Amino acid sequence: MNTDKKNIWIVGAGVTGLTTGVRLLQEGHSVTIVAKEFSPNTTSDIAAAIWFPFKVNPRAKALEWSRFTYTKLEGLLNTPEAGVSMTSSLRLLSDPSRVPWWTNALPKNRIRKATTNELPKGYEAGYQMEVPLIEVPQYMRYLYNQFVQLGGKMIQKIVVDLDELLVDDRWVINCTGLGARQLVNDPALFAIQGQILHVKSEEPLPTISDNEGGDIAAYIIPRKNYYVLGGTAFNNEYSTQPKEEISKEIWARCEAIVPQLKNAEYINTVVGLRPARKQLRLEKEPHKRIIHNYGHGGAGFSVSWGCAEAVAQLVAKASVSLIAA
Ligand SMILES: Cc1cc2nc3c(=O)[nH]c(=O)nc-3n(C[C@H](O)[C@H](O)[C@H](O)COP(=O)(O)OP(=O)(O)OC[C@H]3O[C@@H](n4cnc5c(N)ncnc54)[C@H](O)[C@@H]3O)c2cc1C
């Protein structure tokens, strides 16, 4: 238990804010989350959500944070209310000679090259991986319950100026995702639009992805009662209106790698905006009790615990430097 107990307000109640809140409560701090929207109305609620460091930078840090999160999520496998399971995921590659950077994020015994007979027609290479899969509504509820059980408080409110929250000795953690663009006037933060489909299938479908196709990838991710078909990754596209022609293209690309999809039943289409940055922003503001934790791109779930840990360390380090000063 931390003897230097702080009063901390977190802005944002997506996966980043909730995970950071739980982690800081575990350190013994007093934590309140202030947010405009709570689950199920955040971007986090739209995520697929499979563990994978997709569209997140800087790579060295993303590796460290996603590795840490992998282990944390694995640790939740025996907690049924968390909604975390492991899935065998086949990731297809267009260039067999290339070893992708993210292969180092997995434990060695959880990743291997796919054999030829595991690959769909037309593909020469891929990786078969064991990765955590998150049932989002259940997991968001689990994080919320953890937060409340540990003594966290919630306030619904739009924050227009972080400095206004710096009352007395309070610390503020900015976990506002794409909202930070306006809140802290950050032009480096941009949306990567993701359109996905939900479908039902009587036949079991594999967890598979081909992300080599540019802005429109093909991936299938199982959820408890349906499958997610993805999806787009359009930089600087801010519309959340689904486009029918894009849905058709996503379905066609997915069916090309998993023909059983032709018998699936369409449920709906969802569009979300990933909060992306060339470099995820996780830092303390100089001379202020403000820490930023936003810009997780397509990997908010996959790096969540690693980033929360980094925030907890920044808070602890700030205390030490204050004592030393
Ligand atoms: C289609 C799609 C698929 C995805 N799939 C995956 C996946 O498989 N795996 C994965 O790891 N990630 C995935 N992601 C990415 C993931 O969803 C995001 O990285 C993650 O949700 C970001 O979480 P966050 O908590 O930072 O932001 P958000 O979930 O957007 O939460 C931001 C919070 O801040 C609040 N807020 C914002 N501005 C203000 C303000 N001014 N005042 C008060 N509150 C404010 C909001 O109301 C909200 O509570 C996917 C995303 C999309 C769109």
Distance between CA atoms of 312 and 325, rounded to whole angstroms? Answer: 20
Instruction: For residue 2, tell me if it sits in a domain.
Output: no
Please indicate, yes or no, if residue 1 is contained in any of the structural domains: no
* Alpha carbon of 98 to ligand 1 centroid (Å): 31
Q: Whose CA is nearest to atom 10 of ligand 1?
A: 299
Task: Give the three-class secondary structure for 38.
Answer: coil
Residue 24's domain is classified under what CATH number? 3.40.50.720
Local confidence band at 211 (pLDDT 50, 70, 90 cut-offs): confident
Whether 314 is covered by a domain: the verdict is yes
pTM: 0.96
Condensed to tens digits (0 to 9), the pLDDT of residues 154-179 reads 999 999 999 999 999 999 999 999 99
Judge whether residue 12 has pLDDT over 60.
Answer: yes
Q: How far apart are CA 124 and CA 276, in angstroms?
A: 31
Q: How many domains does the chain have?
A: 1
Q: Taking CA 246 as the corner, what is the angle to CA 214 and CA 275, rounded to the nearest 5 degrees?
A: 60
Spatial CB neighbours of 158, under 8 Å, sequence gap ≥ 6: 36
Kind plus residue range of the DSSP H or E element containing 183: helix 180-183
The answer to whether residue 193 is domain-embedded is: no
162 inside domain? yes
Residue having the nearest C-alpha atom to atom 25 of ligand 1: 14
Identify whether 38 is part of a domain: yes
**Residue 181 domain boundaries:** 7-87+132-188+278-324
Q: What are the pLDDT digits (tens) for 270-283?
A: 999 999 999 999 99
What does pLDDT average to over the chain? 94
On whether residue 152 sits in a domain, the answer given is yes
pLDDT at 323: 46
Measured distance CA(86)–CA(280) in Å, rounded: 26
User: Residue 225: inside a domain, yes or no?
Assistant: no
- Give the contacts of 123 (CB within 8 A, at least 6 positions apart): 92, 93, 94, 210, 257
Would the pLDDT of 311 be above 60? Answer: yes
Over pLDDT 90: what percentage of the chain?
92
Instruction: Kindly state if the Cβ of 194 falls inside 6 Å of ligand 1.
Output: yes
What are residue 235's DSSP bridge partners? 192
Angle between helices 15-26 and 136-149 (to 10 degrees): 30
Contact 89, 208 (CB under 8 A): yes
Alpha-carbon distance 301 to 306, whole Å? 10
The two three-digit tokens of residue 288, written as one number: 């202020």
Is residue 189 within 8 Å of residue 276, measured between CB atoms? yes
pLDDT, tens digit, for every residue of 104-155?
A: 999 999 999 999 999 998 899 999 999 999 999 999 999 999 999 999 999 9
- Cα–Cα distance, 72 to 67 (Å, whole number): 9
Task: State yes or no: pLDDT of 307 exceeds 50.
Answer: yes
Q: Is 35 in the pocket of ligand 1 (CB under 6 A)?
A: yes
| DSSP H or E stretch at residue 200 | strand 190-200
Mutate to test the pocket of ligand 1, among 134, 176, 190, 237 (most ligand atoms within 8 A of CB): 176
Q: What is the pLDDT averaged over residues 257-267? A: 96
**Contact indicator for 84, 134 with CB cutoff of 8 Å:** yes
